[in-house]
Amino acid sequence: MLDDFMVRAALAGIGLAVAAGPLGCFVIWRRMAYFGDATAHAALLGVALGLAFHISILAGVLVVSLGMALLFQNLTDRGTSADSALGVLSHGALAFGLVAIGLMSNVRIDPMSYLFGDILAVGTGELAVIWGGAAIIVGLLVARWSALLTTTLNPELAQASGLSPKREELVLTLALALIVAMAIQVVGALLITAMLIIPAAAARPAARSPEAMAIIAMIIGVAATLGGIFVSFAIDSPTGPTMVTVAAVIFALTTAASRLRG
């Protein structure tokens, strides 16, 4: 069954959506959308480094994404505003990545497949990476759930209850780098943040607790993935962007429904 590229694509998308649902909730609760973008853009440079040094692309993406997060921390600690630090890092990393890929004349790769992903080309090895990564992310979030939420609400409150806000932030940074590395082939560097934010935002009107929001976001993400694959097959459109389109339509529907009700 795993021979069928459609089945592999669906399983890859579901794995991503399961991890992106709860992680995406934290991204919007903590207003980290732009940070997610910067991490994703840096991934392109990671792809180039992975190819240049003959290490796995996954490792290259993880290293560069984490480096980006640390650099960001360092810049903002020294007084650069978060907004401009992210602006510089995000687009700087994207440009560096494109230049690096362009310079590698000996490797024939299409930057488009990393910018927009190529979910239909996912192999069984990558599928294992995606589900392994999803298990790690969901495991991390479940284990630290209350601590992460308390830190999100107020770092001093977390500190007073004996938690370390810095450690909890590191958990989220790690999870974000991991999901970017997993997702770059599925939806591509430009649309990873969309799969984090849109299902979570679409889940908000239907949820009355943080846990419900995370689970509903998972379900919406899975629906968008399957719907996107189906629609892209029917109208022959690029699959990654179609998944994001379906997610955006679901967001519009849940938001409109909550307006009508309330």
Partner 1 sequence: MTLVTLKDVSLGHGATPVLRNVNLSVDPGEIVTIVGPNGSGKSTLLKGIVGSIHPMSGSITLQKGISLGYVPQKLHIDPVLPLTVERFLRLAGGTTAQQAHDALRETAIEALAGQQMTELSGGQLQRVLLARALLNNPALLLLDEATQGLDQPGSARFYQMIADLRDKTGCAVLMISHELHVVMAASDRVICLNGHICCEGAPEHVASAPEYRALFGSGTQGALALYRHEHNHHHHDDHTHHDGCAHDA
Binding site for partner 1 (CB under 8 A): 28-29, 31, 146-147, 149-150, 152-157, 159-161, 165, 201, 204, 207-210, 212-213
Residue 176, Cβ density class (10 Å: 0-12 exposed, 13-18 middle, ≥19 buried)? buried
Question: Min. distance of Cβ 159 from partner 1 in angstroms?
Answer: 4
Cβ closer to partner 1: 125 or 162? 162
Q: Residue 152 or residue 225: which is nearer to partner 1 going by CB?
A: 152
Residue whose C-alpha is closest to residue 176's, from 75, 28, 52: 28
Query: Is the Cα dihedral 112, 114, 119, 121 positive or negative?
Result: positive
**Least Å from the CB of residue 227 to partner 1:** 24
Residue 184 or 196 with smaller CB distance to partner 1 = 196
Tell me how far apart the alpha carbons of residues 114 and 108 are, in angstroms, rounded to a whole number.
13
| Of 198, 56, 64, residue with least CA distance to 125 | 56
Determine the length of the chain.
262
Nearer to partner 1, 204 or 223 (CB): 204
Q: Are 198 and 247 in contact (CB under 8 A)?
A: yes
* In the complex, least distance from residue 163 CB atom to partner 1, rounded to whole angstroms: 9
Q: How far is the CB of 109 from partner 1 (least distance, A)?
A: 38
State how far the Cα of 68 lies from the Cα of 74, in Å rounded to an integer.
10
Q: How far is the CB of 14 from partner 1 (least distance, A)?
A: 25
- d(C-alpha 243, C-alpha 13), whole Å: 9
